[in-house]
């Protein structure tokens, strides 16, 4: 995608309406993880350093079109002020006369953060009237929220209908570059590690990766549907209804010569909360009254060996019930193996990112994606609405 970026346009003196992903965890009114705020800083600083007026908009949580005080942007504004080292004016609304008045009174270098966009029903509905009101605040539009690029919302797509110049920020540019390079020209061998609970979330991803991968390593809850397709009994483990689809995937991978690595042993339990009996068994000996919750030591060794041979790795999804410490061993081991491999490592969001951070291995990874769902849809080959709506570089002379 040859989309224009903020460095391709002149923002001097202009009102820049920027969509960021500040959907960060907050506890007792304090941001507990500011990774997403930090990720947007390069673009924010660039815009401010080029004498622009910056209006930021983001969602937080899932308020479903209603005002939920606990999901307001106040803690975010406070944290942004701290990391930016300059005042941030937080407004209590996204649109309206008061908002317009404050925005029009801005001076170059000023920063305004609008209230949670999802407090408005028009956001998720991509309502044209709501989008038009948001768009009226800016002269140019910058999208740097990769985590919501797969959503056709008013603040990600709708506003682009009413602002002539719409470009990406540096975070989206980096995401597209790293993910795109992995899909079009990966250094071989290229292995994908896929985990998580549901096969259906990854079917399209596996279909696309089958054309470019040398091997796919399957862990997490989704592994048990693959084991079931192999003819194994899986006890009370997760079983996806797409069993026939999984059998078809396995056949396709075999025909294309793509390695499919499944668990050879698993940790099983009678209580997924970690308060019952647990043990490690071979993958073909899962007791009828127990469920699989993590990969076992032999599988860790098998996966680690494959990972060590790779030149490119894509990882999305934990190897077990990662949030329960007793069942996080496999996920942590995979994180360590990926950190040691000599090549390109791309972490595709979600619990995989959490595992990497918890293990203190973030700086050992080539790229950590800020958008789990968006990165998966991109790898699946789907068009991301928030990206597609941006201005192509070759069209810039016309629209400017």
Which residues are tagged catalytic? 36, 198, 350, 373
Q: Which two tokens stand for residue 232?
A: 């194994």
Q: Which two tokens stand for residue 207?
A: 């279909």
3-state secondary structure of 233: coil
3-state secondary structure of 15: strand
**Residues ≥6 apart with Cβ < 8 Å to 289:** 235, 236, 270
- Please report, for residues 41, 131, 134, 164, 222, the alpha-carbon distance to residue 158 in angstroms, rounded to integers and kept in the order given: 24, 5, 9, 12, 36
Q: Is residue 168 within 8 Å of 141, Cβ to Cβ? A: no
How many Cα neighbours within 13 Å face the side chain of 262?
A: 18
CA angle 142, 146, 148 (to 5 degrees): 100
Q: Which two tokens stand for residue 115?
A: 């209230």
Q: Which two tokens stand for residue 183?
A: 């899909």
How many Cα neighbours within 13 Å face the side chain of 349?
A: 17
Name 166's bridge partners: 141
Cα 198 from chain centroid (whole Å): 17
Q: Is residue 77 within 8 Å of 34, Cβ to Cβ? A: no
- How far is Cα 331 from Cα 221, in angstroms, rounded to an integer? 12
- How far is Cα 271 from Cα 323, in angstroms, rounded to an integer? 14
Q: Is residue 265 within 8 Å of 298, Cβ to Cβ? A: yes
Cα 343 from chain centroid (whole Å): 22
Sole residue written with tokens 């073909």: 284
Q: Is residue 120 within 8 Å of 149, Cβ to Cβ? A: no
How long, in residues, is the chain? 400
Of 42, 57, 53, nearest to 139 by C-alpha is 53
User: Which DSSP string corresponds to 135-154?
Assistant: HTT-SEEEE--GGGTT---T
């Amino acid at each position: 995608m040859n989309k224009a970026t903020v460095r391709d346009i002149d923002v001097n003196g202009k009102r820049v309406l920027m969509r960021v992903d500040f959907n960060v965890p907050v506890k007792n009114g304090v941001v507990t993880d500011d990774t997403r705020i930090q990720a947007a800083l390069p673009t924010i600083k660039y815009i401010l350093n080029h004498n622009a007026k910056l209006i930021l908009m983001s969602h937080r949580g899932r308020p479903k079109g209603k005002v939920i005080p606990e999901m307001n942007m106040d803690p975010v504004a406070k944290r942004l002020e701290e990391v930016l080292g300059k005042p941030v004016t937080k407004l209590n609304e996204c649109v309206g006369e008061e908002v317009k008045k404050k925005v029009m009174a801005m001076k170059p270098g000023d920063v305004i953060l609008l209230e949670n966009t999802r407090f408005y029903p028009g956001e998720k509905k991509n309502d044209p009237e709501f989008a038009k009101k948001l768009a009226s605040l800016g002269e140019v539009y910058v999208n740097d929220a990769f985590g919501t690029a797969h959503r056709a919302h008013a603040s990600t797509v709708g506003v682009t209908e009413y602002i002539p110049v719409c470009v990406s920020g540096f975070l989206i540019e980096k995401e597209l570059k790293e993910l795109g390079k992995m899909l079009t020209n990966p250094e071989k061998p290229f292995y994908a590690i896929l985990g998580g609970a549901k096969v259906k979330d990854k079917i399209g991803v596996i279909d696309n990766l089958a054309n470019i991968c040398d091997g796919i390593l399957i862990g997490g809850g989704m592994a048990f549907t693959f084991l079931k397709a192999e003819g194994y009994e899986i006890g009370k483990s997760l079983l996806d209804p797409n069993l026939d689809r999984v059998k078809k995937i396995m056949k396709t991978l075999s025909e294309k010569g793509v390695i499919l690595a499944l668990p050879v042993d698993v940790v099983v339990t009678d209580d997924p909360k970690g308060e019952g009996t647990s043990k490690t068994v071979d993958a073909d000996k899962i007791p009828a009254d127990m469920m699989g919750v993590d990969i076992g030591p032999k599988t860790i060794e098998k996966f680690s060996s494959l990972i060590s041979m790779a030149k490119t790795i894509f990882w999305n999804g934990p190897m077990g019930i990662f949030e329960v410490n007793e069942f996080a061993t496999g996920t942590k081991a995979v994180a360590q193996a990926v950190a040691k491999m000599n090549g390109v490592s791309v972490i595709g969001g979600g619990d995989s990112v959490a595992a990497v951070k918890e293990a203190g291995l973030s700086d050992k990874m080539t790229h950590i994606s800020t958008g789990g769902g968006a990165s998966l849809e991109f790898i699946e080959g789907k068009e991301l609405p928030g990206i597609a709506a941006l201005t192509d570089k070759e069209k810039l002379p016309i629209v400017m």
